[in-house]
Amino acid sequence: MSLPDDSSVASDQLAEIRAAADRLLREGGALGCFPTPVDQIMHAAKVEIVPLQLDDGYLDRLRQKAEAAGTALLSALSKVWGIFDPKARVAFIDPETPKNKLPFLKLHEGGHAVLPWQSIFGIFEDCRKTLDPDVKAQFEREANVFASEVLFQRNTFTVEARDLAVGLKAPLILARRYGASVYATVRRYVSTSDRACAVLVYDPPIVGPTGAVSMLRRAVTSSAFDLQFGAYRWPGAVTPADQFGSMVPVRRMTNPRSLALTDANGDRRRFIAEAFRTPHQTFVLLHADPRPIRGVVLPSLVAPPYS
């Protein structure tokens, strides 16, 4: 089962988050500086970063202390890499956090401090209630959106992406330029594109009795894709014999190749697919091919993966 959405907010919230991101970028003198100077931005936000081992014992003690004090401590979803104390304006970051995740994580924790409707929860010292789980999840989505807006310098990334040839090389180039992980960059690349495109993120293949199986971790689609295809039902597990599973590289990358998807009207649409594999996940990027389909593209006719 793929992970739930963690990076979408209502349009009115998005406008406020973008305004806050723009203010912080300007206050930190970060616009047009590459890679995005995250530590400089955190200094402008008056948020201190403290490397601290976030083991289970420490987290339990911190949560107990927070409950006793009535302080709302916010943590990242899934694996806990960071925690923000809104009263002290201190972000505790696990020193074992992968280096490529640090920029986004720091800005995520900074979002909890900068977004005014979140930071206010730190002053209620005498309140013995913690945040409702739905509110916490909403705060995490807002912090993720904030981090992406700051790290990719609002519309600067989108403009630069449009100047590059469409394809997987573009987010790989931009990841280095902005100092971001490939994961964060390819998601931003797709979500801000004006083309019909999608990226499928798979966990590392697991070898089973019937061969290698890759589980879908997340699917991200552009607005143009959603308009044409609706809520597309991606398979949760794929093998090398499947249309998408055949794209999973044996080693690093696959060369671009054609495949077809059926849109919401039942029409077949040609796409270009290419993939990039890291030790932690595989990215399969699909982007619309403007050439019309002549005949039918069958999954069985998709070429085997390049290594």
More reliable by pLDDT, 59 or 265: 265
Q: Are residues 145 and 176 in the same domain?
A: no
The model carries a pTM of 0.83
- The yes-or-no verdict on residue 38 having pLDDT over 80 is yes
64 inside domain? yes
- What band does 277 get if pLDDT is binned at 50, 70 and 90? very high
Q: At what angle do helices 102-114 and 11-27 cross, to 10 degrees?
A: 110
Of the residues 100, 128, 151, which one is the last residue of a structural domain?
Answer: 151
| Rounded Cα distance, 97 and 192, in Å | 27
- What band does 298 get if pLDDT is binned at 50, 70 and 90? very low
11 φ/ψ angles, rounded to the nearest 5 degrees: -60, -40
pLDDT, mean over the chain: 84
The domain total for the chain is 2
- The yes-or-no verdict on residue 272 having pLDDT over 50 is yes
Note the residue count of the chain.
Answer: 307
- What band does 79 get if pLDDT is binned at 50, 70 and 90? very low
Q: Are residues 25 and 109 in the same domain?
A: yes
The pLDDT tens digits for 205-249 are 998 787 899 999 999 999 999 999 999 999 999 999 999 999 999
pLDDT at 283: 98
192 φ/ψ angles, rounded to the nearest 5 degrees: -105, 5
Of the residues 125, 151, 177, which one is the last residue of a structural domain?
Answer: 151
Q: Are residues 176 and 135 in the same domain?
A: no
Distances (CA, A) of 109 to 103, 148, 200, 278, 293: 10, 12, 26, 26, 47
Cβ atoms of 249 and 168 closer than 8 Å: no
More reliable by pLDDT, 119 or 242: 242
Q: Are residues 296 and 176 in the same domain?
A: yes
- For the chain, what is the largest distance between any 2 Cα atoms, rounded to a whole number of angstroms? 69
- What band does 296 get if pLDDT is binned at 50, 70 and 90? very low
β-partners of residue 253 are: 276
Of the residues 97, 122, 151, which one is the last residue of a structural domain?
Answer: 151
Q: Are residues 173 and 240 in the same domain?
A: yes
156 inside domain? no
pLDDT at 189: 98
Q: Are residues 195 and 127 in the same domain?
A: no
235 φ/ψ angles, rounded to the nearest 5 degrees: -65, 140
- State which residues form the domain around 185: 166-301
β-partners of residue 83 are: 75, 92
More reliable by pLDDT, 300 or 299: 299
